[in-house]
Amino acid sequence: MRRTAGLILLALAVFFAALAPLTRWYAFPRLAKIPPGQYQTMVLEAKDATLLDYGTMQARTVPKVTIVQTLKGNVEESEKIERTAGRDVVVWDSLSYVQGPDGEMVSKIPERYIFDAHTQEPVHATGEMVDGDPVRRDGIEFKWPFLTEKRDYAYFDAQARVTAPIHYKGTQDFRGVEVYYFEQTIPWTEVPFPKEMPVEGVTPETVATTGTTRWYTTVRKFWVEPLTGAPVYGEEIHKEELRGGTLLGGRDKVTAFSGHVKMREDYIEDTVDLVTSNRTLVLLLTAYLPWGFLALGVLLAALALWLEARSRRPGDPAPARPAEPEPVTV
């Protein structure tokens, strides 16, 4: 009976020991993915910013500029692309809406970002765009991969429509969460005017006839929780200028916007809470379950060996040998 129980326990030990690496290296890469229907809103602010008054074409200091960013998963489009891509795809329709202190629109730029639900690598398909212009992204945007590494990544800049390195700068503690700090600098680059301008009747085409161009630079900063790859906080030191042309009345350049953009406090708290809960789910598949299965397998193996040893202990009486037959005499 003990030997039978020992064999069953040994079989279970082998099963759980094999399940540990399967959970980590087979199940996790397939189960961890971004849901296609995710919806998220983020509010950022630049206080004491410089903003161009398009009525007078003079830059002035304003108490606050607000940027509202929304990400909305387009389930219908993701399912359509999946049929030809042969993998799980997420389509995010995003909008960056900038408004001045009076609540009036300064700019709004829509995007469509298509990426692999598991790896966050871009997927190139019809509809990928920034402000209506087709683009072909290289590198990540908005989110880092699951199990982010301590290295530089390629990050897509939507304003300049270019991909540039975003550099790992070290590990920090952000409100009790261990994060990786990344930083990217985009040098002064000529960028398109937004399709929708803040002055009625003014379009990028009419501005182009004046010879005035738009230039942009930024220092982008992200604090990323490495297990989920989700930023818990972000900042930008953002500057825009209009240069040359007749629109500036003979001036070489004028500041269109300059400010230190930061996440609003209430959205920081919500983001940290959301990332912390998702971090627990990732830990379940990468650490808690694999190590738990391995520990259970070792325990069951030890118990099986103990039962086997008890079944063979020296104190047990030896089994009786059958009596030898008497010799037959004739």
Q: Does residue 235 share a domain with residue 92?
A: yes
Mean pLDDT is lowest, of 130-144, 200-214, 232-246, for 200-214
**Residue 64 belongs to some domain of the structure:** yes
- pLDDT tens digit sequence for 136-165: 999 999 999 999 999 999 999 999 999 999
pLDDT of residue 92: 96
Q: What's the rounded mean pLDDT across residues 109-134?
A: 95
C-alpha–C-alpha distance, residues 124 and 137, integer Å:
8
Q: What's the rounded mean pLDDT across residues 239-256?
A: 92
Model's pTM, two decimal places? 0.88
pLDDT of residue 5: 77
Q: Would the pLDDT of 245 be above 60?
A: yes
- How many residues belong to the chain? 330
Q: Does residue 50 share a domain with residue 159?
A: yes
β partners of residue 44: 67, 263
pLDDT of residue 279: 93
**Residue 202 belongs to some domain of the structure:** yes
pLDDT of residue 311: 73
How many domains, in total, are found in the chain?
2
Q: Does residue 304 share a domain with residue 233?
A: no
Q: Does residue 74 share a domain with residue 56?
A: yes
Helix (H, G, I), strand (E, B) or coil at 223: strand
58 lies in which domain range? Answer: 32-263
The per-residue pLDDT of the chain, averaged, comes to 91
Backbone angles phi, psi at 246, to 5 degrees: -75, -15
- pLDDT tens digit sequence for 1-41: 666 777 788 788 888 889 999 998 999 988 999 999 999 99
**Residue 67 belongs to some domain of the structure:** yes
**Residue 330 belongs to some domain of the structure:** no
CB 293, CB 26: distance < 8 Å: no
Instruction: With cut-offs at 50, 70 and 90, classify the pLDDT of residue 308.
Output: confident
Q: Does residue 291 share a domain with residue 237?
A: no
- pLDDT tens digit sequence for 172-199: 999 999 999 999 999 999 999 999 888 8
Q: Does residue 92 share a domain with residue 181?
A: yes
CB 34, CB 117: distance < 8 Å: yes
**Residue 322 belongs to some domain of the structure:** no
Q: Does residue 210 share a domain with residue 161?
A: yes
C-alpha–C-alpha distance, residues 264 and 85, integer Å:
38
pLDDT of residue 202: 84
Q: Does residue 167 share a domain with residue 18?
A: no
pLDDT of residue 124: 94
**Residue 73 belongs to some domain of the structure:** yes
**Residue 316 belongs to some domain of the structure:** no
pLDDT of residue 7: 78
Q: Does residue 7 share a domain with residue 42?
A: no
Q: Does residue 151 share a domain with residue 60?
A: yes
10 Å CB burial of residue 96 (0-12, 13-18, 19+) is buried
Q: Does residue 191 share a domain with residue 222?
A: yes
Helix (H, G, I), strand (E, B) or coil at 251: coil
Q: Does residue 41 share a domain with residue 145?
A: yes
**Residue 325 belongs to some domain of the structure:** no
Q: What angle do CA 187, 199, 201 make, to 5 degrees?
A: 115
Place of tokens 């202190």: 101
pLDDT of residue 208: 87
